[in-house]
A and B are shown apart, each in its own frame.
Chain A
Amino acid sequence: MSRIATTFARLGAENRAALITFVEAFDPDRATSAALLNGMAARGADIIEIGMPFTDPMADGPTIQQAGRRALRAGATVAGTLALIREFRSANQTVPLVLMGYLNPILAYGIDDFAADAAEAGVDGVIVVDMPTEESDLLLPALRTHAIDLIRLVAPTTSDQRLPIVLKESSGFVYYVSITGITGTRTASAEDLARDIPRIRRATALPIAVGFGVRTPEQAAIVARHADGAVIASALIDHMAKGLDHDGHASPALIDAVLDDVAALAAAMRAAR
């Protein structure tokens, strides 16, 4: 069983939802993102998403756009991101890692090389924001060869007729974009989730994680009562971005403060059900 499936099976047995945290690789520098990765795993993240920086992140709001810009200035590349993951994986064999990014850097790296190197580095799943189901035959065979899950986005605009098409070749989990909008802007309400999650549940046996607009422990707890996981990204990046020193670096105290947020999110989600 894959690390992602193992993790959700264990969480199901513990009757709790997955805390999925996000780190933009190399934001604001390599060392900080490495410290965040390791620290998040230690402080209660069940799955970690790693953002692969791209110059033109069309589905992302200002927070992740700026994170991407800082990361690119710090020298982020696909190869560098995979090296960061390899380093984490040498010390941690259990926490699943999901790469999230846009298609062009993957195409530039080479699809087969990317899948092979990502698997070797210890990547468990991939989310490609600008590759909808209709175009995913580009990447799917290579990911399958290397047993990497292709995690699909489902949106409020995804109709009941369309859900089976989107979910047909999905694996790992379903990433429900709970708002129509860009990352880190609005927040879905409990009523929205109570309406939307069962709709997706009827179309898939995969775990459902909710992202885009989940910011606080309270919101994460609400998500935990409706879904199988909550993705928190922009809130953590905002906390760090606001505390960067004038050279754009994160102090150890700042990294600890962000990790305290992770611990608070983990505690709220454990107490939610």
Chain B
Amino acid sequence: MNKPLPNSLRSLPDARGRFGDFGGRFVAETLMPLILELEAAYEQAKQDPTFQDEFNYYLTHYVGRPSPLWFAERLTRHLGGAKIYFKRDELNHTGAHKINNCIGQILLARRMGKTRIIAETGAGQHGVATATVAALFGLPCVIYMGATDVERQQPNVFRMKLLGAEIVPVTAGAATLKDAMNEAMRDWVANVRDTFYIIGTAAGPHPYPAMVRDFQSVIGTEARAQMLAAEGRLPDTAIAAIGGGSNAIGLFHAFLDDEVALIGVEAAGRGLESGEHAAALARGRPGVLHGNRTYLLQDADGQITEAHSISAGLDYPGIGPEHAHLHDIGRVSYVAVTDDEALEAFQLCCRTEGIIPALEPSHALAHVAKMAPGLPAEHIILMNLCGRGDKDIFTVAKHLGAKL
């Protein structure tokens, strides 16, 4: 990784874990010493070349990195405008970008002498990735998952069980990702001494947003070099879907100081005006949840409201604090795409590229499909295809009225 300049957008967060006004460490005192211990351990690991070597070893030989950069030629022709590339993180072991971060965090857990792994999961991709690395290193693993998500993501639930993880369905609230995260934090508070909490997105108390970003930034670092090799220049636009925002910040981070337009795509669910969406930036206000200050879907009294998206992985009422900051300073544009638009893009990708994408990157693709036709042929769009859609075929079938 090239070192960011002092005035670079890539040098955040500050010592308090702040990205501008966002981030921080809003946890109970019970967790605070642990958060500080984690931060110290991570800072030390970051400086240690053997840790980086170990991380790279597993990324190369276990995850299968680097993931290819794919020129989506038929899609480009079909849309008739900008030249579209996919960063194919759906080809990673376990089928999504989530594994990059899990490898990093479990190596850190081992370094810290932790013997038990917990995680939250929404779509189940992070749960599967966590269960995978826990199996790889022989550590017991408990996955908290909203009961609603357990219902709509059965294939991933079974995968996690096959991998030896214990799944705890969470029935509080709407029984989705937010509630799973609450329950995982409660577990952590009760088992602070032996347990490592592998947070799946670039959110939570410092150092998680920075740490998850660092582990995921391999996506953008690779894509940047691959793009230079393929085209001799950087893309004009880089685009990714956003729930908590780990695949997006992973792609964007390498480009923050470049002249590359960056676009994050939130889930507009049944429409931004319907009230049933997961667009924390488009319709939320700054507040504090899950350890960080960020944009949140909330009512006038500061109660967190339920998010909705067809994609379980985007169904979260908040967003990582670095995105909140990049939004406020205008470095990244954030747009929103509805369930229906994502479903259409999902099918388009299947038919034009022979790739069944996850519903999460289908949101990014829906925006690509909107913008590409109006752009010149020399405009290059780089999109993070962050997960594959095998897990979503039941959801998609239901929406298309097909019976499996």
Task: Check if A and B associate.
Answer: yes
Which A residues have a C-beta under 8 Å from some C-beta of B? 54-61, 65, 72, 77-79, 102-109, 129-135, 152-159, 162, 166, 177, 180-182, 185
Q: Which of A78, A132, A154 has the most CB of B within 10 A?
A: A132
Number of interface residues of B (CB under 8 A): 37
Q: Select which of B178, B192, B290, B303 is within 8 A of A54 by beta carbon.
A: B303
In the complex, chain B residues 271-306 whose Cβ is within 8 Å of any chain A Cβ? 285-291, 296, 298, 300-304
Tell whether A107 pairs with B192 under 8 Å between CB atoms, given A55-B173, A56-B178, A65-B172.
no
B182 touches A56 (CB 8 A): yes
A-B pairs with beta carbons under 8 Å apart, 12 shown: A57-B182, A59-B186, A60-B186, A104-B289, A105-B301, A105-B302, A109-B301, A152-B29, A153-B30, A157-B30, A177-B28, A181-B190
B303 touches A55 (CB 8 A): yes
Q: Which of B29, B192, B298, B301 has the most CB of A within 10 A?
A: B29
Query: In whole angstroms, how far apart are the Cα atoms of A185 and B187 in the complex?
Result: 12
Asked if B33 is at the interface of the complex by the 8 Å CB criterion, the answer is yes
Q: Select which of B26, B191, B287, B290 is within 8 A of A108 by beta carbon.
A: B287
B288 touches A104 (CB 8 A): yes
Of chain A, the residue at the smallest CB distance from B285 is A108
A130 touches B302 (CB 8 A): no
A182 touches B303 (CB 8 A): no
A108 touches B291 (CB 8 A): no
A134 touches B16 (CB 8 A): yes
Q: What mask results when residues 181 to 222 of chain B are scored 1 for a CB within 8 Å of chain A, else 0?
A: 010011001111100000000000000000000000000000
Q: Select which of A56, A58, A109 is within 8 A of B28 by beta carbon.
A: A58
Q: Which residues of A are found within 8 Å of B397, using beta-carbon distances? A: none
Q: Select which of A108, A129, A135, A153 is within 8 A of B302 by beta carbon.
A: A108
Q: Which residues of B are found within 8 Å of A130, using beta-carbon distances? A: 26-28, 288, 291
A108 touches B301 (CB 8 A): yes
Query: In whole angstroms, how far apart are the Cα atoms of A166 and B376 in the complex?
Result: 59
Q: Which residues of A are found within 8 Å of B31, using beta-carbon distances? A: 157
A132 touches B32 (CB 8 A): yes
Q: Which residues of A are found within 8 Å of B72, using beta-carbon distances? A: none
Asked if B25 is at the interface of the complex by the 8 Å CB criterion, the answer is yes
B280 → A minimal CB distance (Å):
13
B293 → A minimal CB distance (Å):
8
